[in-house]
Amino acid sequence: MKILVIEDDKTTGSYVADGLREEGHTVDLMTDGKDALLQASTTDYDILIVDRMLPGLDGVSVVKTMRGAKNQTPVLFLTSLGGVDDRIEGLNAGGDDYLVKPFAFGELSARVAALARRPRTTLEEVVLRAGDLEMDLVRRKVTRADHVIDLLPREFALLEHLLRRKGRVQTRTMLLEAVWDISFDPQTNVVETHISRLRAKVDKPFETELIKTVRGSGYRIEE
Amino acid sequence: MKTFKERSKALFRSTPLRLAVALVLLFAIVSLLSLGASYLVIRDSFNQTMETDLRQELAGFQSAPTAGALAQLITAEAAVTDPERRILSYLTADGKHYGNGVIARSQEGFRVLSFPDGEDISEGPYLALSANLHGGQLTVANSRSQIEDLGELFLNILLLSLLPTTAIALAAGLVIARRSGRRIEAVGGALRKLTEGDLSARVKKTAGRKDDLSSIAEQVDRMAAAQQSSVSALRQVSADIAHDLKTPIQRVAVLLNRARELPDLPDKLESILDDAGRETTGIVATFQSLLQIAQIEGGSPKSRFQPVDLAALAATFVEVYEPAADDSGHQIAADLPVKGTALVSGEKGLLGQVLANLIENALRHTPAGSKITVSVKRKGNRISLEVSDAGPGVPADERENVLRRLYRIEKSRTTPGNGLGLSLVAAIVDMHGGKLALTDNNPGLRVSVVFDGVR
């Protein structure tokens, strides 16, 4: 993917750029808001990673201007302001996701992957599949190798979320947001506990492991 | 609404009315003294005039050559003299009486006499002059009723001048007291609000007039504005510090991450790096809370408030903390009403933080095996959220303190936490117009938050 990182702090900027390059992306790094706006409107990027506080023109204005010019490139905001207000302001300005500093690279990488314009499973799909696992969304029924698996509502939602984003890492904060609707990190092991309960039902009785742990990042269901 | 009694009590305590009453009293005393003095002076001069009069009269009669002539003269004179005004009396040596009135014999000189009834002489003191003439006694007495009338006149003048003055002064005093009372109440109200912590309270100028009250109001407003700006400057500074420190912390986190990813690290170094990573996370959490408190107290827009189902939210957080509670040997019980019945107007994310912080606090400060109860109840239009535990609780004299920023009770210094959890809760509750109370759960602590419900 071709990614533009707009970040004025050099350490953070090169950390993000280097990490993404290591993952095989093409990355441009810019430090000034105005320059970056020009760059973003003349070059076609797959994703923009924008710091909110920038010299020249702040991140929110950059994205607002871009959206005003019908540029729909997905935007991930980086910020050291983590209040609910800031988050909402960022998302209202046209940001697609929001990451509060300091963040681990795995979190950033997972969110970048989630934002990528890859074909997703459509909402109309009624049966989700991974290997020999089937999830019937209409009948709320999960089977693996023709064995019926009973899931609690929260476990069902967790599995559905992972299945819909097959092949992509979901971090614990992403899961907290999607499954529990909590936008801050309550510092509990609720995600880990539910993942292990889910594994006990979905993976343990069978030969292959579907739900993979990605060290330092999160969880993924293999394609 | 204040009762009439309270209002009149306040009115009588008001300075303008007291001043008016004092002035009326002073005026009355001065009037009384000056009128009294005038009365005395005038009466004195009246007396003197009358005395001179009597002497001349007496001298006139003394010119009569014989007792007979005098008796004739007296009789003639008495016939045309009104005894109410003047009495002429001649008592001869042989006991005969002439004149228009009887005056009892007495020693010579001036005497005030009252005449007995029955001889048409009604009343009143007289000023009399007697002289021994031709063996008899001649007395001329002038009525003092004029002087008496004078006294009455002065009394009337006194009443006529005092009564309307008093009435007008009191009425004016009342009106002014009312009006200035309202303005003083405005200043008092603003000061009360300021004391209660609403730094945006102002007296606001009362229309037009420039006087001492309006200048006090202005000064109160100026003081409040100065206070508000210094408090907000302080908040801004703490927000700025928190914000400016997050970038370097991010760098530290990045560097630690890079070090952690190096190949072939000795195990010991790995665990040191992990510890360092956890510490940075803790620092970030502290700054995050500080920033958030500053932001919330700085007045977050309430326009974004939406109905939030407190029961559903509490259920989620009980579920979220259940695994952590299991791990630490705690039990979490939920006592929640049917979903959709406990709606409050607010910010879901922030209300969630209230629940998270309260449950986390309970888990952190109670020993393993303790039971924690999260309950949501509806009473009328009030919705209360309670998190209670059976732990050691918070001593009554510490309950105010634990709401203070960064404050930690001595014995909890060893447990993790940054002392911001309850301050954040307090700030969020305040922003939502709720009431936060820490009470005894016998044993343990009960934290209750009461919100207005959404109908």
Which chain B residue shows the shortest CA-CA distance from A7?
B247
Write the CA distances from B295 to A24, A82, B242, B424, B426, integer angstroms. Answer: 39, 10, 12, 11, 13
Beta pairing class for A47-51 and A75-79: parallel
Q: pLDDT: is B264 or B196 the higher one?
A: B264
Amino acid at A81: L
- pLDDT score, position B374: 95
Q: How confident is the model at residue B48 (pLDDT cuts 50, 70, 90)?
A: confident
CB contact under 8 A, A186 and B356: yes
Average pLDDT of the segment spanning B266-292: 85
Most confident of A101-105, B122-126, B302-306: A101-105
- pLDDT score, position A151: 92
CB contact under 8 A, A182 and B316: yes
Contact residues, chain A, for B314 at CB < 8 Å: none
Q: Between A and B, how many CB-CB pairs are < 8 A? A: 92
Q: How far is the C-alpha of B170 from the C-alpha of B434, rounded, in Å?
A: 47
The SS3 call for residue B429 is helix
Q: How far is the C-alpha of B269 from the C-alpha of B247, rounded, in Å?
A: 25
ipTM: 0.77
- pLDDT score, position B417: 63
What is the nearest CA distance from B174 to chain A, expressed in angstroms? 53
Which DSSP letter does residue A138 get? T
Assigned token pair, B210: 């420039």
Instruction: Note the pTM of the prediction, 2 decimals.
Output: 0.62
CB contact under 8 A, A101 and B246: yes
Contact A193, A176 (CB under 8 A): no
Facing B320 at nearest CB: one of A102, A104, A186: A186
Contact residues, chain B, for A31 at CB < 8 Å: none
Write the CA distances from B339 to B309, B312, B313, integer angstroms. Answer: 7, 6, 9
- pLDDT score, position A103: 83
A192 Cβ under 8 Å from any chain B Cβ? yes
**Residues of chain B that touch chain A, judged by Cβ-Cβ distance less than 8 Å:** 243, 246-247, 249-255, 257-258, 280, 284-285, 288, 291-292, 295-296, 300-301, 304, 316-317, 319-324, 327, 347-350, 352-353, 356, 360
Q: How far is the C-alpha of A46 from the C-alpha of B455, rounded, in Å?
A: 47
The 10s digit of each residue's pLDDT in A68-125 is 888 888 999 988 776 667 777 788 888 888 888 888 888 898 899 888 865 555 666 7
Please give the distance of CA A107 from its chain centroid, rounded to a whole number: 8
Within 79-138 of A, beta carbons closer than 8 Å to B belong to 80-85, 88, 100-105
Q: How confident is the model at residue A164 (pLDDT cuts 50, 70, 90)?
A: confident
Q: pLDDT: is B189 or B404 the higher one?
A: B189
CB contact under 8 A, A12 and B250: yes
Answer whether residue B287 shows pLDDT above 70: yes
Could you count the other beta carbons within 10 Å of the beta carbon of residue A135?
A: 23
Contact A47, A27 (CB under 8 A): no
Give backbone dihedrals phi and psi of A49, rounded to 5 degrees, phi first. Answer: -115, 115
Cβ burial B393-430 (10 Å sphere, 16+ → b, else e) = bbeeeebeebeebeebeeebeeeebbbbbbbbbbbbbe
Facing B324 at nearest CB: one of A88, A104, A189: A189
Q: How far is the C-alpha of B91 from the C-alpha of B101, rounded, in Å?
A: 11
Average pLDDT, chain A: 87
Contact A217, A207 (CB under 8 A): no
CB contact under 8 A, A190 and B347: no
Choose the weakest-confidence range: A128-132, B91-95, B280-284. B91-95
Contact residues, chain A, for B251 at CB < 8 Å: 9, 11-12
Write the CA distances from B66 to A50, B69, B108, B117, B346, integer angstroms. Answer: 142, 5, 20, 32, 123
What's A161-208 look like in SS3? HHHHCCCCCEEHHHHHHHHHCCCCCCCCCHHHHHHHHHHHHHCCCCCC
Which chain A residue shows the shortest CA-CA distance from B243?
A80
A153 Cβ under 8 Å from any chain B Cβ? no
Could you count the other beta carbons within 10 Å of the beta carbon of residue B446?
A: 17
